[in-house]
Amino acid sequence: MSSEKNISLQEQQFMDKIKAEEKIEPKDWMPEKYRKNLIRQISQHAHSEVIGMQPEGNFLTRAPSLRRKAILLSKIQDEAGHGLYLYSAAETLGITREEMIEALQSGQAKYASIFNYPALTWADMGAIGWLVDGAAIVNQVSLQRTSYGPYSRGMIRICKEESFHQRQGYDIMLTLVNGSAEQKAMAQDSLNRFYWPALMMFGPHDSESAHSAKSMEWKIKRETNDDLRQKFIDQTASQIEFLGLEHPDKDLKWNEERGHYDSGEIDWEEFHSVIAGNGHCNRQRLEHHIKAHEEGAWVREALAAYNAKKQANKAKAA
């Protein structure tokens, strides 16, 4: 059988597994484009978890109570763990942690655009937990069924922890709206600033997405960008109403025929500008990451030296 026919047979067997809802595992044959698509998506997800720690870490010393501080610290630690799960999942595809971090720091790899917006007040900790993690959950629940095994299994634990993050954020907002007039105004301001960027987290319209169609075919993604965004719009509408806040989308209207809310158009020029590196905090976020990475070099070197010594002792004993 020729090499071309072998490849064709492998591709057919691969697609048969996908269609049968069987997981693709690291040692299974997979198309190179499938592998690269997964590396792009999983590493971007990992980078988002790690970069997302920055705006919240900045508020640890300004949390209004010891309880709030402990909860926020726990949330940040969860996000570090999520980054670890995801980097580990991506490494099973043949890329190293160092390569992924280099791609992030050079600007070649992206992370969620939402983290390039500044966190200005304590209410932003509520909006980030409620809206940003809420949008993440909408996307990630379907990723528990993604076709790549290590990614799918990692998402199961991540989703459980993200649901806590969302409730933590909503609890902050609920406390603020039931407080003073100034606190409720702070909550409204935060909602106004984070609502539209949260919608942008789902990515461009499917017709304009470079990766969406193939990701759907390979079942890396299980739902389209627009369908996921619609879910988020529908669920947050009632949440905003319960808080007694004004909805930032003045064009929002229930469509009885569709059974969904119709909404206003996103400012896609802003989205593409932030993705291109022109957001409020793009440079700050990367500079901080590079600084922390360089300052932690001694830890990585110490671990490498320890492991080398351990292996040498093991070999000597043998």
Structure confidence at residue 260 (pLDDT): 96
**pLDDT, mean over the chain:** 93
- Mean pLDDT across 253-257: 96
Judge contact between 135 and 232, C-beta under 8 A: yes
Share of the chain above pLDDT 70, in %: 97
CB neighbourhood size of 295 (10 A): 9
- Mean pLDDT across 172-190: 98
- In sequence order, the 6+-apart residues with CB closer than 8 A to the CB of 133 are 162, 165, 166, 169
pLDDT above 60: residue 2: no
pLDDT: is 214 or 270 the higher one?
270
- In sequence order, the 6+-apart residues with CB closer than 8 A to the CB of 288 are 54
The H or E element spanning position 77 is helix 66-91
Q: How far is CA 276 from CA 99, 109, 152, in A?
A: 21, 11, 29
Closest C-alpha to 253, from 235, 269, 234: 234
At residue 318 the predicted structure's pLDDT band, cuts being 50, 70 and 90, is: confident
Structure confidence at residue 210 (pLDDT): 66
pLDDT above 60: residue 80: yes
The half-sphere exposure of 267 on its side-chain side, counting CA atoms within 13 A, is: 9
Instruction: Report the phi/psi class of residue 117: left, alpha or beta, with left for phi > 0 and alpha for psi in -120 to 50.
Output: beta
pLDDT tens-digit profile of 156-177? 999 999 999 999 999 999 999 9
Q: How far apart are CA 253 and CA 263, in angstroms?
A: 7
Instruction: Report the phi/psi class of residue 277: left, alpha or beta, with left for phi > 0 and alpha for psi in -120 to 50.
Output: left
Structure confidence at residue 68 (pLDDT): 96
Q: How far is CA 87 from CA 90, 120, 156, in A?
A: 5, 30, 15
Closest C-alpha to 89, from 153, 160, 140: 153
Check residue 94 and report its DSSP letter: T
Angle, to 10 degrees, between the axis of helix 66-91 and the axis of helix 32-51? 160
pLDDT above 50: residue 67: yes
At residue 7 the predicted structure's pLDDT band, cuts being 50, 70 and 90, is: low
- The full DSSP string for 248-310 is S-TT-EEETTTTEEE-PPP-HHHHHHIIIIISSSHHHHHHHHHHHHHHTHHHHHHHHHHHHHH
Judge contact between 53 and 79, C-beta under 8 A: yes
**Residue in this structure with the two tokens 């076709």, named with its chain if needed:** 147
User: Which residue ranges form the domains of the chain, and what is each CATH number?
Assistant: 31-317 (1.20.1260.10)
At residue 4 the predicted structure's pLDDT band, cuts being 50, 70 and 90, is: very low
